[in-house]
């Protein structure tokens, strides 16, 4: 009796698995691996996560035992059902995700700040853990959060090769050649996994088992060629920043700027969004604003990260302005739903001062206090006599004075230009000294990028003519200014620029030689001292 019942269950599962595998096999493009919620309409408690069971086999069959991350926690929220017809869940938007995450941060002392990026995780956020977190407390925290009504499930993060990764409910599964559908179906039933419409992607029911139990059960079966978890690196998928070398200036000053875009391999930048960049504020006329970009090929620029575009802006009207955001169009190649998306930079304040004093004296009517004396009618005659007597001498003095005035004007204009250049030079050196002394407050490669941008501007103002390009690769910039550098610092400047390009291109964090990099740059900047 029991044998017949078991056979009927097996036959029913085989029919079900056949249908699912057929759908998965005939699907066109691979599904976007950025949606990881269970989709359950009712609140359920996920299977407990055992930190000791988190390991897996790589594609070559080697056992990988990652370290448990103590800096971030992955929280996937349940979809909203309130107000929906028949309880159908609806996806949460970025604003709702941020609100829910900030609420958890306010309520729990274990968290410092949230990080939400719908290109990485569409239904949740990553919460940064407070310093001093231990694995025992982390395991209890995961259980407590998983029981909250708004939470779908919670996972720790993994540390591998100096990077932090998140895992969810997806695995990459490849069957060996010749495995029949019935065998697949029975094995998937044991692993509580179902095929996703898309190539080799399967989803695990986390309310019945954990991801790594399912992954390793499949990986150790003789019918499976590969079973590994889908891992997502926790770092911003796209970031765009406009930075000014100076926060303002006077009328007609050329203020250098840099537009930097960093993006991950899952992002494709639309070149057209770099073709027509404009930083003109809305409250200034076109005739009173000028902007110029250093030469660059926007089609080639989008092929690799980071993208750096430099140039200058110029104002011909005093006042306080806000540079408008630059909108960047891109495609998230691994996202589900709408893959064409946009990212905007933050608005930047800039202050332009007038070259004339704002509190100048006003024209006023002057009333004499004593009676006016009668006019001297002979004064014009005496003046005419003096003019004819001194006429010859006057011509000579006028010629001499004219020559002296021209020479003085040239000297004064040159001295004023040198004074302005010296002020910019000293201001940039002071900012760079302060940055090097303070050290990093962000990812190491971002710190290197910021310090190198200031370093380039300092070199251009101190040793160049202040008008050359500050963008492009380090090699291009070095060649443009090499001829004006003192011979003693040429090797150091070349090595610093090359090293900065390498660290930023690889987005190194941590950067092991950061202190050495700061020290070498400090030696090139006069008056620097690291504390």
> For 403-421, what is each residue's pLDDT tens digit?
767 666 655 655 544 554 4
212-223 pLDDT per residue, tens: 999 999 999 999
Q: What is the pLDDT of residue 117?
A: 86
Give the integer Cα–Cα distance in Å for 455 and 470.
Answer: 10
Mean pLDDT along residues 430-455: 87
Give the integer Cα–Cα distance in Å for 489 and 386.
Answer: 65
Q: In this model, does residue 60 exceed pLDDT 70?
A: yes
Query: Strands 201-204 and 163-175, how do they pair?
Result: antiparallel
Q: List, in sequence order, the alpha helices (H) in 207-336.
A: 211-219, 298-301
Give the integer Cα–Cα distance in Å for 529 and 531.
Answer: 6
Task: Give the pLDDT band of residue 6 (cuts 50, 70, 90).
Answer: very low
Query: Strands 248-250 and 348-353, how do they pair?
Result: parallel
Q: What is the pLDDT of residue 423?
A: 63
Q: Report the Cα 119 to chain-centroid distance in Å.
A: 14
For tokens 């978890």, name the residue: 229
Q: Which long-range contacts (CB under 8 A, 24 or more apart) does 440-447 make?
A: 440/514, 443/507, 443/509, 444/503, 444/508, 444/509, 444/510, 444/511, 444/514, 445/503, 445/504, 445/506, 445/507, 445/508, 445/509, 445/511, 446/509, 447/514
Could you please report the per-residue DSSP string of 501-517? HHHHHHT-SS-TTHHHH
Give the integer Cα–Cα distance in Å for 71 and 213.
Answer: 24
Q: What is the pLDDT of residue 377?
A: 58
260-319 pLDDT per residue, tens: 998 888 789 999 989 889 999 999 999 999 999 999 888 888 888 899 999 999 999 999
Hey, is 218 helix, strand or coil?
Answer: helix
With both helix axes pointing from N to C terminus, report the angle between 474-481 and 444-463 in degrees, rounded to the nearest 10: 20
Q: What is the pLDDT of residue 231?
A: 93
Give the integer Cα–Cα distance in Å for 133 and 473.
Answer: 41
Give the integer Cα–Cα distance in Å for 226 and 197.
Answer: 18
Structure tokens, 427: 């201001």
- Indicate the range of 157-161, 190-194, 364-368 predicted with least confidence: 364-368
Task: Give the pLDDT band of residue 42 (cuts 50, 70, 90).
Answer: confident
For 423, the enclosing helix (H) or strand (E) is helix 391-438
pTM above 0.95, yes or no: no
Task: Give the pLDDT band of residue 22 (cuts 50, 70, 90).
Answer: very low
8 Å CB contact between 530 and 519? yes
Mean pLDDT along residues 248-261: 91
8 Å CB contact between 321 and 330? no
- CA dihedral for 479, 485, 487, 490, sign (positive or negative): negative
Q: In this model, does residue 388 exceed pLDDT 90?
A: no
Q: Which residue has the higher pLDDT, 239 or 378?
A: 239
Number of helices (H), then strands (E), in the chain: 12, 20
């Amino acid at each position: 009796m029991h044998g017949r019942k078991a056979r009927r269950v097996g036959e029913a599962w085989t029919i079900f698995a056949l249908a699912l595998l057929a759908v998965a096999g005939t699907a066109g493009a691979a599904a976007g691996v950025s949606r990881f919620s269970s989709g359950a309409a009712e609140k359920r408690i996920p299977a407990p996560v055992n930190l000791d069971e988190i390991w897996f086999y790589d594609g070559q069959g080697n056992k990988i035992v990652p370290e448990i991350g103590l800096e971030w926690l992955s929280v996937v929220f349940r979809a909203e059902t309130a107000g929906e017809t028949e309880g159908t869940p609806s996806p949460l938007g970025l604003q709702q995700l941020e609100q829910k995450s900030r609420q958890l941060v306010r309520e729990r002392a274990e968290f410092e700040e949230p990080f939400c990026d719908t290109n990485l995780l569409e239904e949740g956020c990553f919460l940064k853990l407070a310093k001093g977190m231990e694995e025992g407390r982390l395991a209890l925290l995961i259980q407590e959060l998983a029981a909250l009504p708004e939470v779908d499930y919670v996972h720790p993060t993994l540390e591998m090769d100096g990077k932090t990764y998140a895992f969810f409910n997806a695995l990459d599964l490849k069957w060996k050649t010749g495995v029949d559908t019935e065998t697949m179906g029975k094995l998937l039933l044991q692993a509580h996994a179902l095929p996703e419409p898309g190539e080799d992607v399967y989803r695990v029911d986390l309310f019945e088992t954990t991801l790594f139990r399912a992954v390793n059960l499949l990986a150790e079966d003789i019918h499976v060629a590969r079973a590994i978890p889908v891992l997502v690196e926790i770092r911003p998928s796209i970031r765009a920043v406009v930075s000014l070398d100076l926060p303002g200036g006077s009328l007609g000053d050329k203020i250098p700027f840099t537009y930097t875009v960093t993006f991950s391999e899952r992002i494709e930048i639309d070149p057209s969004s770099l073709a027509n960049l404009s930083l003109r504020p809305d409250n200034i006329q076109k005739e009173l604003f000028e902007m110029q970009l250093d030469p660059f090929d926007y089609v080639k620029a989008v092929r690799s990260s980071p993208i750096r575009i430099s140039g200058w802006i110029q104002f011909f009207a005093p006042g306080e302005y806000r540079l408008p955001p630059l909108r960047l169009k891109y495609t998230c190649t691994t996202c589900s739903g709408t893959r064409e998306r946009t990212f905007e930079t933050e608005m930047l304040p800039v202050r332009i001062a007038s070259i004339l004093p704002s509190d100048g004296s006003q024209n006023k009517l002057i009333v004499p206090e004593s009676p006016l004396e009668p006019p001297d009618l002979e004064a014009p005659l005496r003046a005419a006599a003096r003019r004819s007597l001194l006429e010859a001498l006057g011509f000579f003095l006028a010629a001499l004075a004219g020559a002296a005035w021209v020479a003085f004007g040239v000297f004064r204009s040159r001295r004023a230009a040198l004074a302005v250049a010296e002020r910019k030079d000293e201001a940039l050196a002071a900012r760079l000294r302060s940055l090097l002394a303070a050290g990093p407050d962000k990812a190491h490669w971002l710190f290197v990028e910021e310090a190198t941008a200031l370093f380039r501007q300092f070199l251009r103002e101190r040793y160049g003519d202040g008008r050359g390009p500050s963008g492009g690769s380090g090699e291009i910039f070095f060649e443009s200014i090499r001829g004006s550098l003192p011979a003693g610092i040429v090797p150091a400047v070349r090595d610093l620029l090359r090293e900065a390009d390498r660290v930023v291109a690889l987005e190194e964090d941590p950067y092991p030689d950061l202190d050495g990099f700061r020290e070498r740059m400090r030696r090139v900047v006069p008056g620097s001292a690291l504390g």
